[in-house]
Structure 1
Amino acid sequence: MSQAPLSIHLDLAIIGGGVAGLWLANRAKSAGFSIALFEAKALGSDQTLASQGMIHGGMKYTLAGALTGASEAIAEMPKHWRACLCGEGDVDLRHTRILSDHFFMWSGDDLGSKLTGFLASKITRGRVEPVHPDRRPPLLRNKAFSGSLYRLEDLVIDAPSLVANLAHNIEGHCFQIDWSKTQLHQTAAGLVSLRIDTLDRPIEIHAQRFIFTAGKGNAELLEQLGLESPAMQLRPLQQVMVKHLYPFDFYGHCLGRETTPRLTISSHRLPDGAHVWYLGGNLAEKGADMAPEALIELAKQELEDLIPWVNLDGAEWATLPIARAEPLQPGLVRPDNAFIAPADGAVNLLVGWPTKLTLAPNLANQVLALVEDAGITPSASTINLHNYLPYASLAKTPWELAFPPAISAEELLALRFREPDEEDDN
């Protein structure tokens, strides 16, 4: 006879193991709530590790000559993240690598005067500073560079180490699930639960609140329950990756005449130490519907136009299609803030999107405020899911997948310590 389902009661059950779900799980655990996070792929997969790791305060949204709602909503985020990185914030990020404690914003001569006047105004004072030619980064330290260059007091973090840090903080609470063996259910009264069929026995997860933080997967989760709201919009992008021999890292936005940077460059390393540039901005938006080969050619032309003195002969190129998931907005405009809301037709379900990596803390704040408003307090329940479910693994970065090593680390180690065979002995 099959065993009766094991019933697990939680305060909060989080579905989706990207930065939004992991940050929320950290905050909820620290507040004393009983939690579990469920991930179907790997922690950080899709949007989180596809980000460029830039924790910005909105200054890149000044391109139209005025601060927008988006820039004002996230103006305090770099300060919040810095506190966490020092171990003094609401989440301990002391084991997250900082790739750069600033990044750059530059423009060509055609935008120089307008940009200089605006960035010198009191609105931006203290958030951006001009860079003297003697202090330019190596990438722009060339006599052919004639644009305007500014330094933003923002951050670039290493997204893989962020995911690892957040997961380590809540060790024992992140579980792998297989949707072919997992089903969401809803009672006639509107209560959501999760059933997981394991080899040992079925598990039924009940929670005072389920929170969907699965990015574009939120729509599929809602569909399982026959729900449609909150609705989602997708902003398709196609990023470009360049594995090159240029020895210096760079993090910055090149401004154009659009409302997003013409080009954004971030630098990353492969496990073997090789350098990769990850290219986003308007290039990634324009390239959303392009064939990879055509987008790579466009990226080559952009780099030739902007930094012609850098030799990329012999570079390897790849692209990454990615869809940024956001709450549906009138006219499909960009949301100004993180978003969380109850699902229409469900009593104990919240659905959220951080909209940007930078705003993950804001999403967690909103969730915990809704939980408090509902009168939910930490319970004394315990979790023994680790006896039945595997722990979730960490995802690989897009550049690790795009540029796999010719020989794995394990194979290299085996060759290094290979014992001579009989023929070698003769």
Structure 2
Amino acid sequence: MNNASAPPASNDSFMFDAIIIGGGIAGLWTLDRLRSAGYNVALLTDRPLGEGQTLASQGMIHGGIKYTLSGALNQASETIADMPEYWRQCLQGTGDVDLTHTNCLSDHFYMWSNSTMGKLTGFFASRAVRGRVDKVPASERPALLQNSQFKGSLYRLVDRVLDVPSLLANLAANNQGYIFQLDQIAHRLHKDTANNAYLCLDNNDKPTTVRAKRWIFTAGKGNAELLSALGCQQPAMQLRPLQQLVVRHRHPYPFFGHCLGADKTPRLTISTHPTTSDDTVWYLGGSLAEKGANMSAAELIAAGKKELAELFPWLDFADADFSTLPIARAEPRQKDFARPDNAFAQPAANIANVLVGWPTKLTLAPNLANQILAQLPEPDAAIASNAALNHLAQRLPAPVIAPLPWEAKHD
């Protein structure tokens, strides 16, 4: 923990309106929005862009229907309902952030069940969810489900799926010259006697001091380390452990869908992702990944093979390659470990100039940025942005984009 003290004597000291720490979707989206709003801002990260939670996501921009499996709308489903349209505008170049260079893997997601859907059938046909979910006739089924052994009900959601590496590349290109990599960021953070955070670029007697009217922590589970470095524990964080399953196979079926089961979360979620090989990569989440957090890799692989055999008996996965990906989703701490319904941004306790944020889901990154913008003072016209940015550019490299986790394992 860094004790409060006067900043060290320094030949160089630079001031920003805001410094963002964290190079995932939350930090990059917030950087783009702040720059567009006229703030003198830069982003610091100690690792490649997207490494960790962002690239471990399935890239879904969903509208909350998967949260309605009890047969009713709720706060979680309605908080996120407008996100597909919001992102669609950005992808078309008419939204708050220009995502015209982001690849869309699918402009919809399927939801299916191999058994009767009970009251969900009526709910999905109701006016309450009109325009968000539609029944798919047999003639329009995707190739994967055009098999006589498929007997279930199939629905199409307005949810879309993005290629996350291209999303990161798009945001990095939008903000080139404002993103920098710096090792051991937490160890360089200090606070002064007025409880304002600042950062020392060098570990010597006269380091360059970087100051900001607001430090914005968007480093996922790294937020806890950043706060601890300043002697702060609030806002507190919780980690939701998952273990996803990666299946490389030769079947030519790109597919994006939720299979419904007995739980209030999908039994299985499948997304398909680009790969450097000729294989098809299915990334499996849902209840399987939640239960998989308490399994060994071998146990999860066995469970995944059983699920695929039951759901797709017409496919043979004997030659498929199975691997697991443990990931911990970082969220603001909730009572009884509940799942947050919205993005979260609040001031750090007892630190005058720090905001801490978690989007909680990739699709809610815009909500996080909006919350942060609402809590910032107006840009300070007296701050000379070019000198500060030029100094960082001379001292620090730009980070690369991390590989997809399953590609990193197969290099």
- Cα distance in 1, alignment partners of residues 186 and 135 from structure 2: 56
Q: Deviations over 1:156-176 (max 9, x none)?
A: 000000001001100011111
Contact between 1:106 and 1:150, CA under 8 Å: does it hold in 2?
yes
The residue that corresponds to 2:112 in the other structure is 106
- Once the two structures are TM-superposed, the CA of residue 273 in structure 1 deviates from its matched residue by 4.0
Amino acid at match of 1:94: T
Return closer, same or farther for 1:377/1:74 CA change in 2, 3 Å cut-off.
farther
Query: Could you tell me which residue of structure 2 aligns to residue 62 of structure 1?
Result: 68
Report 1:59-208 matches (<5 A). 59-110=65-116, 112-179=117-184, 182-197=187-202, 202-208=207-213
CA distance in 1: counterparts of 2:284 and 2:312, whole angstroms: 14
Q: Which runs of 4+ in 1 moved over 6 A?
A: none
d(CA) in 1 for partners of 2:136 and 2:201? 56
Give TM-score, length-normalised by structure 2.
0.94
Q: Which amino acid aligns with 2:404?
A: T
Q: Quote how far apart the aligned CAs of 1:13 are.
A: 0.2
Which of 257, 264, 281 lines up with 2:262 in the alignment?
257
Deviations 1:372-399 (A, max 9, x none): xx44545542221110011111111012
Residues 208-217 or 32-41, more deviating: 32-41
Given that 2:245 and 2:289 are in contact with CA atoms closer than 8 Å, whether structure 1 keeps it comes out as yes
Shift of 1:295: 0.4
Task: For residue 257 of structure 1, report the CA deviation from its aligned partner.
Answer: 1.7
Structure 1 partner of 2:274? 269
String of CA shifts for 1:100-159, please: whole Å, max 9, x gaps: 01010011214x232211111111111100000011011111111111100001210000
SS at match of 1:202: coil
Contact 1:208 1:348 in 2 (8 A): yes
Tell me if structure 1 keeps the 8 A contact 2:16–2:383.
Answer: no
Alpha-carbon distance in structure 1 between the residues aligned to 2:37 and 2:382:
11
Structure 2 SS opposite 1:49: helix
Distance change in 2, residues 1:391/1:208 (3 Å): same
Match of 2:31 among 25, 45, 58: 25
Are residues 354 and 180 of structure 1, via their aligned partners in 2, closer, same or farther at CA, if it must alter by over 3 Å? closer
Instruction: Give the corresponding residue for 1:389.
Output: 396
Q: Which residue of 2 aligns with 1:333?
A: 338
Query: 3-state SS of the aligned residue for 1:323?
Result: strand
1:381 alignment partner AA:
A
Post-superposition offset of 1:403: 2.5
Equivalent residues in 2 for 1:190-269 (5 A)? 190-197=195-202, 202-269=207-274
Post-superposition Cα deviations, 1:345-398, rounded to whole Å, max 9, x if no partner, equal: 011000000000000000000100111xx4454554222111001111111101
Return the match for 1:8 from 1, 4, 14.
14
Deviation at 1:96, TM superposition (A): 0.3
2:309 is aligned to 304
Q: What CA distance in whole angstroms lies between the structure 1 residues aligned with 2:133 and 2:381? A: 43
User: Do the aligned partners of 1:318 and 1:402 also contact (CA within 8 Å) in 2?
Assistant: no
* Maintained 8 Å contact 1:182/1:197: no
CA deviation after TM superposition for structure 1 residue 250, in Å:
0.2
Question: How many residues align structurally?
Answer: 400
Segments of structure 1 that go 5 or more residues without pairing to the other structure are 405-426
CA distance in 1, matches of 2:182, 2:312: 46
The answer on 1:350 being equivalent to 2:355 is yes
* Deviation sequence 1:220-248 (CA, Å, 0-9, x none): 11111110100001100000001110112
- Give the TM-score of the pair, scaled to structure 1: 0.91
Say which SS state the counterpart of residue 10 (structure 1) adopts: strand
3-state SS in 1 of match to 2:129:
coil
Distance in 2 separating the partners of 1:73 and 1:246: 37
CA contact (8 A) 2:187 2:229 kept: no
Q: Deviations over 1:398-422 (max 9, x none)?
A: 1201333xxxxxxxxxxxxxxxxxx
Q: Distance between the aligned counterparts of 2:202 and 2:186, measured in 1?
A: 5
Shift of 1:181: 8.8
**Match for residue 290 of structure 1 among 268, 289, 295:** 295
In the aligned structure 2, how far is the partner of 1:229 from the partner of 1:272?
45
Deviation at 1:5? 4.6
Per-residue deviation, residues 181-213 of structure 1 (Å, max 9, x unmatched): 9411011211001112289x8331100100000
Q: Matches of 2:53 and 2:360 in 1, distance apart?
A: 10
1:400 matched to 2:387? The reply is no
Residue aligned with 1:295, SS? helix
Identity of aligned residues (%): 56
- 2:10–2:209 Cα contact (<8 Å) kept: no
1:310 is aligned with what amino acid? L
Give the letter aligned to residue 292 of structure 1. A
Distance 1:143 1:377, change over 3 A: farther
SS of match in other structure, 2:355? strand
Q: Name the aligned partner's letter for residue 159 of structure 1.
A: V
Q: Which among 48, 51, 54 is matched to residue 48 of structure 1?
A: 54
Q: Secondary structure at the match of 1:129?
A: strand
